Amino acid sequence: MSSFQPVRGTHDLLPEAFRQHKWVTDTAQEVAERYGFDEMTPPVFEFTQVFSRTMGETSDVVTKEMYSFPSRSGDEQMTLRPEFTAGICRAFVSNQLYDQAPFKVFARGPLFRYERPQKGRQRQFHQIDVEIIGVPGPEADIEVLAVGQHILESLGVAENVTLQLNSLGDPESRAAYRELLIAYLDPFQADLSADSRERLHRNPLRVFDSKSDRDQEIIAGAPLLKDHLNDHSRAFFDEVCEGLTRLGIEYRHDPGLVRGLDYYTHTAFEFVTDTLGAQGAVIAGGRYDGLIEQLGGRSTPGIGWAGGVERLAMMADAGKRRRRPIAVIPLGAEAAVRAEMITRDLRKSGFMVEMSYSGNMKKRLNRANKANAAAAVIIGEDELAGDAATVRDMDSGEQTAAPFATLAEFLSPYR
């Protein structure tokens, strides 16, 4: 037995797991396409500055989780992408796509973060992602939330997910609230964790994200941003909530849901579940009206979200949605020749077909059952003489003669 194993935090996507991943991502892409999102993908690695600028130089992702490495020349630092939004926004700026706004895109693929592997979370993981760039109004917020809800419904997991929603306000509201929060936290400096003390004056909203129990006790008494929104921010959030209500999308207002970086504005949200153990997000996102400027572009609003494919696949019963094949079972050399042509024609007609070449009839039917075949097409001497295959329904066991000339039509219920 080989001693080689997958690197910790990675795993092989064997056929069953790959089928589940593909079903999740294909379903998401098909739904997003209905909303006018075109698919794209940024490179798997970018210059490190793309992520350090957009995710915050002091964020845990940048300081602890990114896979970074020098270029072969040693002149530049590169990073495997830890998320999609920064790369998509960089592509928007570097390709000068301002005249294509609203720029609505869907992306999927692998991402990389160095963190403790756990259920549904790996160091190489996969996400689906949607972004709308260039729309300043709440209609974009409503649309990205609607497409997220629609995808969850299409995957059959929406009833186990709760949408949590908050407003981060506009820059004016955030700046005023930032000073209030610092004034509240300052007297507790000695009791805060080292990370929170470091963030206190640089990025105080990130204290809300602390894993320290004592930090959470302190922050529980902090003033809430929702109570300090200006009129514009409050009206924006009200429009988002009203739009969700019109569409029948249920949500819960979570005043503690924040984003620490200054370019985040207005809507922040998470679709969370507790079906995978501790409560966690399966989709998370928000509005980032200042992000394009962070990358040297013109002031351009944006909003989007990312969803974890592994976690969604674990929640969804994807295995049952695999197409069921047709098993073709030829008995004898002459039948095998005819079966090759029949198999070719059925595949061209859109059927998924498995050819069974060896073993007695019992073994071949057992293999067809194991492959979850919907029907078996049996071709032997009698079938060749009668110019008709024997079609066995694998669920009922019923067998019917079907002329070769109209076999595809006969099998259409099994497609």
Does 366 map to a domain?
A: yes
In this structure, the answer to whether residues 30 and 86 fall within a common structural domain is yes
Averaged confidence pLDDT in the chain: 90
In this structure, the answer to whether residues 118 and 242 fall within a common structural domain is yes
Looking at the predicted structure, is the pLDDT value of residue 189 above 90?
no
In this structure, the answer to whether residues 344 and 314 fall within a common structural domain is no
**pLDDT value at residue 246:** 96
Q: Could you read off the pLDDT of 43-68 as tens digits, one per residue?
A: 999 999 998 887 765 566 766 788 89
End-to-end Cα separation, the chain, in angstroms: 41
**pLDDT value at residue 190:** 87
Q: What is the pTM of this model?
A: 0.83
Pick the last residue of a domain from 318, 340, 374.
318
Q: Could you read off the pLDDT of 291-330 as tens digits, one per residue?
A: 999 899 999 999 999 999 999 999 986 445 568 899 999 9
In this structure, the answer to whether residues 356 and 405 fall within a common structural domain is yes
**pLDDT value at residue 259:** 79
pLDDT class of 289 with cuts at 50, 70, 90: very high
In this structure, the answer to whether residues 37 and 115 fall within a common structural domain is yes
Reduced to 3 DSSP states, what percent helix, strand and coil does the chain have, rounded to the nearest 5? 45, 20, 35
**pLDDT value at residue 283:** 96
Best CA proximity match to 11, nearest among 124, 116, 132, 118:
124
**pLDDT value at residue 164:** 97
In this structure, the answer to whether residues 342 and 236 fall within a common structural domain is no
**pLDDT value at residue 319:** 47
| Residues facing residue 138 across a β-bridge | none
In this structure, the answer to whether residues 30 and 52 fall within a common structural domain is yes
In this structure, the answer to whether residues 246 and 371 fall within a common structural domain is no
**pLDDT value at residue 279:** 62
Pick the last residue of a domain from 302, 318, 334.
318
- Looking at the structure of the chain, the number of domains it has is 2
Residue 254: give the domain boundaries.
15-170+230-318
Residue 170 and residue 266 in contact, taking contact as beta carbons nearer than 8 Å: yes
Best CA proximity match to 261, nearest among 174, 186, 167:
174
The pLDDT of 129-133, averaged and rounded, is: 98
Pick the last residue of a domain from 318, 335, 370.
318
Provide CB contacts within 8 A for 330, sequence distance 6+: 336, 338, 339, 355, 356, 357, 379, 380
Longest dimension (CA), the chain: 94
In this structure, the answer to whether residues 117 and 139 fall within a common structural domain is yes
In this predicted structure, which of 53-57, 201-205, 217-221, 243-247 has the lowest mean pLDDT?
53-57
